[in-house]
Amino acid sequence: DIVMTQSPDSLAVSLGERATINCKSSRSVLYSSNSGNYLAWYQLKPGQPPKLLIYWASTRESGVPDRFSGSGSGTDFTLTISSLQAEDVAVYYCQQYYSTPTFGQGTKVEIK
Amino acid sequence: QLQLQESGPGLVKPSESLSLTCSVSGDSITSSNSYWGWIRQAPGKGLEWIGNIHYSGTTNYNPSLKSRVTISVDTSKNQFSLKLNSVTAADTAVYYCARHGQQLVYSYFDYWGQGTLVTVSS
């Protein structure tokens, strides 16, 4: 299995400030034949199913605000919320789909 | 708009089998040629992929659960199902069904059910 490790486990950010979440995979999730990074990001709020935010490491899902962005390649990835809003309070997960899907342990984002 | 809805018992006794069904509406389970999966989240834990199925019946399972899991599909009812045998308290979780986003065996998940809590307890 590819192990996904997120950092930090939690972070508190002031409204309007930037939030950055890191995700590291134990093996590269970059598929050389198509140059695709098999990495997605989800937002999970209590009582709701996970919401897909980003796939292919940097492609924003339709309807997702542009304050959410994904970057990185190979083994190191980042989810950035450029200007934190109150509705962004949630737990965020990365997921690799290069092989048997696995998720990071989650990062809890709160308001400072 | 594609919608998924899990159904099944919320309480299962230890050593018995857990059975859940995911009903798909808004589109045919065969039309997108996608894989359809099950994911769970135990209390206070992260997300764990259980397995998936293509409408043709092809399945893929998480190696850690493979010996206990069966996923099946009923295209006539536009449903797919999960059966997990010999459950223990460690199988207590919210179980989600979801669609893999692209026509890949492994992919991200773009549509999710609301999730259903299954508790394993005597």
- 3 state SS of B86: coil
Q: Which residue has the higher pLDDT, A35 or A60?
A: A60
Which of A55, A61, A100 is facing B49, going by the closest CB pair?
A100
User: pLDDT at position A58, please?
Assistant: 98
- pLDDT at B78 (0 to 100): 96
CA atoms B112, B85, B34, B6: torsion sign: negative
Token output for B110 = 């773009």
Which positions in chain A have a beta carbon within 8 angstroms of at least one beta carbon in chain B? 1, 38, 40, 42, 44, 48-52, 55, 61, 93, 95, 97-106
Handedness of CA B32, B34, B38, B40 (dihedral sign): negative
Q: Which two tokens stand for residue A65?
A: 């605000």
The token pair at B81 is 């199902």
Contacts of B114 in chain A (CB under 8 A): 48-49
- Residue range B21-65, pLDDT digits in tens: 999 999 999 987 899 999 999 999 999 999 999 999 999 999 999
In percent, the amount of chain B with pLDDT more than 90 equals: 92
Are B108 and A40 inside 8 Å of each other by CB? Answer: yes
Question: From the CA of A38, how many Å to the nearest CA of chain B?
Answer: 8
Interface with B, mutate which of A25, A42, A52, A61 (most B CBs under 10 A) = A52
| Chain A contact present for B104, CB below 8 A | yes
Residue B103 above 90 pLDDT? Answer: no
Judge: A49–B115 Cβ closer than 8 Å, yes or no: yes
| Span A52-65, average pLDDT | 98
Residue B102 has pLDDT above 90, yes or no: no
Give per-residue pLDDT as tens, A65-104: 999 999 999 999 999 999 999 999 999 999 999 999 999 9
Average pLDDT score over chain A: 97
Q: Judge whether B114 is closer than 8 Å to chain A, CB to CB.
A: yes
Phi/psi of residue B119, nearest 5 degrees: -105, 130
Cα–Cα distance list, A108 to A3, A9, A45 (Å): 19, 6, 10
pLDDT given at position A84:
98
